[in-house]
Amino acid sequence: MSSEVRKFSVSTQTTAAFVSCDKRVFHVEREDLDRMTHFMPPPNAFIPPAPPPKLLEDSYTLELLFRFVNSEEDIDLDRPSFSTVAALAEAAQKYQVYSATTVCRQYMKSQAKAHPVEVMQYAAKHDFRDILDAVAPYTVGTAVATMQEILPDHYLIPWVLFNDAHQQAMQAMVKGQFDKEVLHVTQENMKYYWTDPEEVWFPPPKEACGLGDKQQATWDAIHKRIMYALVSTGGQLDIFGALSVKDDMFARLESCPYCYTRLFEWREYAWRVIDNKIRDFTSFL
Ligand SMILES: [Zn+2]
């Protein structure tokens, strides 16, 4: 049995009816449909008892969609779940509901970090290049099998190369920081201090470490957290390079200007690696 929803529940001479996949009937002004969308006018709509066309979308999605068709202004996309708005975004593209497409596009872009795989799928399907570039860094480290499922074929190799570029940059970053046995000399081992002549991005220290005997433990703790962020994301470098270096890490190094500056400089170095080695995803297409 079909059930009717409160909104769009009144059938008149000027409305067209649609049925959602969960069997709710929507009556939408034909004039709005003509103006706002590429909905096909249902054939024989005025000749009862022709059944209204069944759409593949569910009633949540269609109610939102038809509210856009209806030119409602106070549609809050933060209220429904991501999956509902993602379905709306697809429906808006499918039926070319112009009032919804732009809003949905902005919404999907804003969800790049929270829902990278779904947003990547949406952006690839519609070739929204600005969204592809925004979301691709958050898909780094995702299983290739997963990406194969959601990406059209011609996007897969570019994605693999993009992902690999992150792995290469990650290695460069790790070598820039984690290869050093001695981060900073203590008073006792100062004369044995060894520096890499190629490591021109940061000069050797002139004074003993202000962290004293806590030096190793402090750096070990910081490295552990950065490495965890890195490995657990499969090498998402913007997280690794920028976000994983937290304020509290700097706070722990405040008693040693050298160590403090070293972490700061390393973060700058990480950003340079990203800038030099990482091109936007769409440049791989
Ligand atoms: Zn130090």
Reduce the secondary structure of 235-253 to three states and give it as a string: CCHHHHHHHCCCHHHHHHC
Residue type for position 149: E
pLDDT at 177: 65
Whether pLDDT at 167 is above 80: yes
- Could you tell me how far CA 113 lies from the centroid of its own chain? 3
Whether pLDDT at 160 is above 60: yes
How far is the centre of ligand 1, averaged over its atoms, from the C-alpha of 72 (Å)?
Answer: 60
How far is the centre of ligand 1, averaged over its atoms, from the C-alpha of 169 (Å)?
Answer: 26
How far is the centre of ligand 1, averaged over its atoms, from the C-alpha of 186 (Å)?
Answer: 8
How far is the centre of ligand 1, averaged over its atoms, from the C-alpha of 170 (Å)?
Answer: 24
How far is the centre of ligand 1, averaged over its atoms, from the C-alpha of 233 (Å)?
Answer: 29
pLDDT class of 185 with cuts at 50, 70, 90: low
- pTM here is 0.80
Residue bearing the bigger pLDDT, 183 or 231: 231
How far is the centre of ligand 1, averaged over its atoms, from the C-alpha of 252 (Å)?
Answer: 11
Going from N- to C-terminal start, the domains of the chain cover 3-110, 160-284
**Angstrom distance (rounded) from CA 137 to CA 160:** 12
Whether pLDDT at 30 is above 50: yes
Q: Which two tokens stand for residue 259?
A: 């160590």
How far is the centre of ligand 1, averaged over its atoms, from the C-alpha of 276 (Å)?
Answer: 29
Q: What angle do CA 55, 10, 89 make, to 5 degrees?
A: 35
pLDDT at 204: 60
How far is the centre of ligand 1, averaged over its atoms, from the C-alpha of 210 (Å)?
Answer: 5
Whether pLDDT at 206 is above 90: no
How far is the centre of ligand 1, averaged over its atoms, from the C-alpha of 260 (Å)?
Answer: 7
How far is the centre of ligand 1, averaged over its atoms, from the C-alpha of 218 (Å)?
Answer: 10
How far is the centre of ligand 1, averaged over its atoms, from the C-alpha of 202 (Å)?
Answer: 14
Angle, helices 215-232 vs 257-277, to 10°: value is 20
The burial class, CB within 10 Å (0-12 / 13-18 / 19+), for 28 is buried
How far is the centre of ligand 1, averaged over its atoms, from the C-alpha of 205 (Å)?
Answer: 8
pLDDT at 127: 97
How far is the centre of ligand 1, averaged over its atoms, from the C-alpha of 246 (Å)?
Answer: 18
Whether pLDDT at 45 is above 70: no
Q: What digits encode the pLDDT tens for the residues 253-269? A: 999 988 888 888 778 87
**CATH number listed for the domain at residues 3-110:** 3.30.710.10
